[in-house]
Amino acid sequence: AQTVTQSQPEMSVQEAETVTLSCTYDTSESDYYLFWYKQPPSRQMILVIRQEAYKQQNATENRFSVNFQKAAKSFSLKISDSQLGDAAMYFCAYRSPSPYNTDKLIFGTGTRLQVFP
Amino acid sequence: GAGVSQTPSNKVTEKGKYVELRCDPISGHTALYWYRQSLGQGPEFLIYFQGTGAADDSGLPNDRFFAVRPEGSVSTLKIQRTERGDSAVYLCASSIFPGHSEQYFGPGTRLTVT
């Protein structure tokens, strides 16, 4: 069974600085998807960035980028130029490639990010 | 367009009672998912519908939990004989089709069992 581990319960960053959130996962599959979701106090999960395992290139979305190390099964999120609105819980998630067996997301326990002015 | 909506936003019930939680997916989305998020944890998968049928219900914790999606749109999660351990936020998500597309989440229903 696949597992996702986030070893940082809390992180903090100064506004305009850069912060990196860690995520490791375990799987025997060779192809899969990885995600970072943001959950503000409103509870609604918002997709930040996704990565297909077969792609060598790290995904980037504006100030958000990932460092995907497939051999090490590591998937960290880098937030550049941090803003007050980035403060939230961040969850790393894994999804198997085939929709015909299951299409569920497997989440880590989350990292609470605080942003200080 | 409208996102995924869930009702009620909050539900308080007494131990032993029956509750129904409703999810309205984004129009046209064929896949629908239920997750449960306990305090301080990440969401855990409960069940996934493709159309009207449950394609994977392996996450339902026991037979007190049941979910339906009779017309392939709105879904209801039903919990019988609620227990205090059922207290959590229940999240619903939908996607256009399973596999490659993003899952869009609703704001969740916070269930408190007293």
From A4, A43, A101, residue closest to B107, measured CB to CB: A43
* Percentage, residues of chain B above pLDDT 90: 87
Predicted confidence at residue A29, as pLDDT, reads 86
**Mean pLDDT, to the nearest integer, of B43-47?**
97
**Mean pLDDT, to the nearest integer, of A75-86?**
98
Does any CB of chain A come closer than 8 Å to the CB of residue B89?
yes
* Percentage, residues of chain A above pLDDT 70: 97
> How many A-B residue pairs are in contact by the CB < 8 A criterion?
66
Report residue A98's pLDDT band, with 50, 70 and 90 as the boundaries. low
Decide if A92 contacts A75 (C-beta within 8 A): yes
Predicted confidence at residue A34, as pLDDT, reads 95
Report residue A96's pLDDT band, with 50, 70 and 90 as the boundaries. confident
| pLDDT of B25 strictly over 60 | yes
Report residue A10's pLDDT band, with 50, 70 and 90 as the boundaries. very high
Please tell me the distance in Å from A80's CA to the nearest CA on chain B.
24
Does any CB of chain A come closer than 8 Å to the CB of residue B40?
yes
Predicted confidence at residue A99, as pLDDT, reads 58
Report residue A56's pLDDT band, with 50, 70 and 90 as the boundaries. confident
Which positions in chain A touch B40 (Cβ < 8 Å)? 109-110
Residue whose C-alpha is closest to residue B22's, from B74, B63, B93: B74
